[in-house]
Amino acid sequence: MSSTTTSTITTKAAAAVGLAVETTGPPEPSLMHRSLRSRPVSVQSGSGIYLNLWNGRRVLDGCAGAAVAILGHGHPAVQAAIVEQVAKVSYVHTAKYTTDSAEDLADLILGTRPFGLSKAYFVGSGSEAMDSAMKLARQFHYERGETHRTKWVARRQAYHGNTVGAMSVSSNRARRVPYEDSLLLGGVSFVDPANSYRGQLATETEEQFVERLIKELDEEFRRIGPRSVIAFIAETVGGATGGCVTAPKGYFERVRKLCDEYGILLILDEVMCGSGRTGSYFAFEHEGDVVPDIVTVGKGLGGGYAPIAGIYIHDKVVHALRQGSAAYNHGHTYQAHPVSCAAALATQQVVKSLGLVEACAEKGMILGALLRDRLGEKKYVGDVRGRGLFWAVEFVEDKATKKPLDLSVGFSGRLQQECFDLGLDIYPGQGTVDGIVGDHILLTPPLTITPDQLQSMVDILSNAYDTLEDQLGATS
C-alpha cells in the first residue's frame, strides 16, 4: 500500500470518528486532541440525554458518546456513589487489598454465575479488557501443558481495541496501517464477518450462508493447525467498524461447536454491544445455545461516569488456573479501581432497578421501525440494521448493486455535521465495506431515552439526510 493511500485511510478514519469542530479559541491548545487540524467542541455540561455546549446550544446525544452513556448525563445516584467512595478511599493496590465497591460490582453481575461465568476482572478500558482476555486465554492453555497453542483467529471488519494486543486481532485498516510492520503481533489470521447484507449471496439461504462461513472458519483452523489456535475472537454484534452487524441465525452455535471440537477458546467482544445495549444483558443471549469462555465488556458498564471495562470468565477457565498456578499472571495499577467500580456499581443498580434492559428491547423495536419507515426508501440508504438501542444505517451509491459511495463524498462525516447543525449527535463510520470504502452511522442513545425522544432523534436525522441528498443532487 502506498504512503499516499495510507495517509488517506488514516485521515479519513480520523475524520469519521471525530466530532464536529469549532474554530474559535486558541489555535494551539496544550491538550493533544485526535486531530492537529481542528479542535473538538467544548461541552460545558450534560443533562439526561442532552449535551450543553460552550456556545449555549443543546445537542441530543444520539450515540451516547460511543454507546457509553447508558444512563445519560448527570444521574444523581451515580454522582452520589462516586462522592461517597472518594470519601471512603480513592485507591488501593489490588496485589494486597480489595474494596467493597469492586466486590459488590462483581457479585451484582456474576453472583448467580450466569451461563457459567464466575469471575470478573475489571480494568480501565475495552482495549485493556481484550489484552487481558488474550493473556488469560494463553495462560489457560499454558497451565494445561498446551504451550504449542500460539495462534489467534478473528474476523475481518472487526475492532477489538487500540492497544498492541487488541489491535493485532482487529482488522480496522485505518488504525492498523502505521503499525503493521513494527508493533502488531504475528500469528493472527482473519476470516469473513457474519454480515448478511454484504456477504450472503442472492442464491443462498441464511442456513447456506452460515454453512459457508463455518466451512471457511474450519478450513482456516485446519490450515494453521487447529491444535495451535488459542482462541477465536468475535464481536457478538459488530460495533463501529462494521456498523451493528448481527450474525445470521445459528452462526454462533456452530462456531461454539467447532471451537469445542478443536479445544479452542471462544472470546466474545461485548465492549460496545454488551451491558444491556442490545436488549439482553449479555448480547450473546440472542444467539441460541452459545456460552463463551471469556467475555470482554466496557462502555455501558460504567456508563461513562468513570473509566472501567472488564472480562467475565467462565468457570472452565478459572478451574484450569486453580489446578495449575492458582494465579492470573497479569495485573494493572488501576485494576478494580474503587471509584470506577463504585460508579459502575451504581450505574448497574440503576439499570436493574429501572428495568432498562427490558425497556431497551422494547424501545429498540420502536427505533428500528422509525428508522425503516423514515429512511428505508431513501436514495442512498442500503441497509438499516440493529438490535435493542444499537442501530446502524449503511449508505450506498446504488441500492440494487450495493455499490458504496465514493470515498471522496465523505457521506457519513457530512451527515454527522448536518445532524449536529440541527441539534443531534450521531456516530459516523467510514470504511464499512473493506476498511477503505463504505459509509454508515450508528444510533446508540442512552437507554433512558423516551419514545418521544426517539421520534425527535429520527426526525432530525431524516431532515439532515434530506439536506445532504439535495446537496449531492445539486453537485452531481
Q: Which amino acid is at 80?
A: A
Q: Residue 190: in which H helix or E strand, if any?
A: strand 188-191
Q: Return the percentage of the chain with pLDDT > 70, whole number.
A: 94
CA 69 – CA 419 distance, rounded (Å):
19
Cα distances from 185 to residues 119, 151, 229, 431, in angstroms, run: 27, 10, 14, 23
Give the pLDDT of residue 300. Answer: 98
Give the pLDDT of residue 303. Answer: 98
Give the pLDDT of residue 476. Answer: 66
Please, are residues 153 and 191 in contact by the beta-carbon 8 Å criterion? yes
Domain ranges of the chain: 3-74+355-475, 76-353
Give the pLDDT of residue 172. Answer: 87
CA 461 – CA 378 distance, rounded (Å):
12
C-alpha cell at 157: 471488519
Q: Is 396 strand, coil or helix? A: coil
| H-assigned helices in 126-187 | 126-143, 164-168, 173-176
| Least reliable range by pLDDT among 3-7, 80-84, 112-116, 289-293 | 3-7
Place of cell 504512503: 3
Residue 8 CB contacts under 8 Å (≥ 6 apart), including other chains:
407
| pLDDT mean over 205-215 | 98
**Mean pLDDT estimate for the chain:** 94
50-53, strands of its sheet edge to edge: 43-47, 50-53, 58-61, 424-425
Q: Is 234 strand, coil or helix? A: strand
Classify burial at 442, counting beta carbons within 10 Å of its beta carbon; exposed 0-12, middle 13-18, buried 19 or more. Answer: buried
Give the pLDDT of residue 95. Answer: 96
How many degrees, rounded to 5, is the angle at CA 282 between CA 281 and CA 283?
A: 115
How many degrees, rounded to 5, is the angle at CA 261 between CA 260 and CA 267?
A: 30
Q: Is 60 strand, coil or helix? A: strand
Under CATH, which number does the domain 3-74+355-475 receive? 3.90.1150.10
CA 296 – CA 307 distance, rounded (Å):
15
Higher pLDDT, 38 or 259: 259
Dihedrals phi, psi of 337, to nearest 5 degrees: -60, 130
Give the pLDDT of residue 405. Answer: 98
Residues written for the chain: 476
Classify burial at 93, counting beta carbons within 10 Å of its beta carbon; exposed 0-12, middle 13-18, buried 19 or more. Answer: exposed
pLDDT in tens, 369-420: 999 999 999 999 999 999 999 999 999 999 999 999 999 999 999 999 999 9
Dihedrals phi, psi of 268, to nearest 5 degrees: -105, 125
Among residues 163, 153, 161, 168, the alpha carbon closest in space to that of 231 is found at 153
| pLDDT mean over 157-163 | 96
Give the pLDDT of residue 25. Answer: 53
Residue 368 has pLDDT above 90, yes or no: yes
What residues form DSSP beta bridges with 122?
A: 310
Residue 459 has pLDDT above 90, yes or no: yes
Q: Is 184 strand, coil or helix? A: coil
Give the pLDDT of residue 101. Answer: 98
Residue 173 banded pLDDT, cuts 50, 70, 90? confident
Give the pLDDT of residue 6. Answer: 41
Q: Return the percentage of the chain with pLDDT > 90, whole number.
A: 90
Give the pLDDT of residue 212. Answer: 98
Give the pLDDT of residue 28. Answer: 84
Residue 174 has pLDDT above 90, yes or no: no
DSSP 205: -
C-alpha cell at 84: 461517597
CA 343 – CA 94 distance, rounded (Å):
18
User: Which CATH architecture best describes the domain 76-353?
Assistant: 3-Layer(aba) Sandwich (3.40)
Give the pLDDT of residue 27. Answer: 66
| pLDDT mean over 97-104 | 98
Q: Is 459 strand, coil or helix? A: helix
Higher pLDDT, 5 or 92: 92
Give the pLDDT of residue 355. Answer: 98
Residue 194 has pLDDT above 90, yes or no: yes
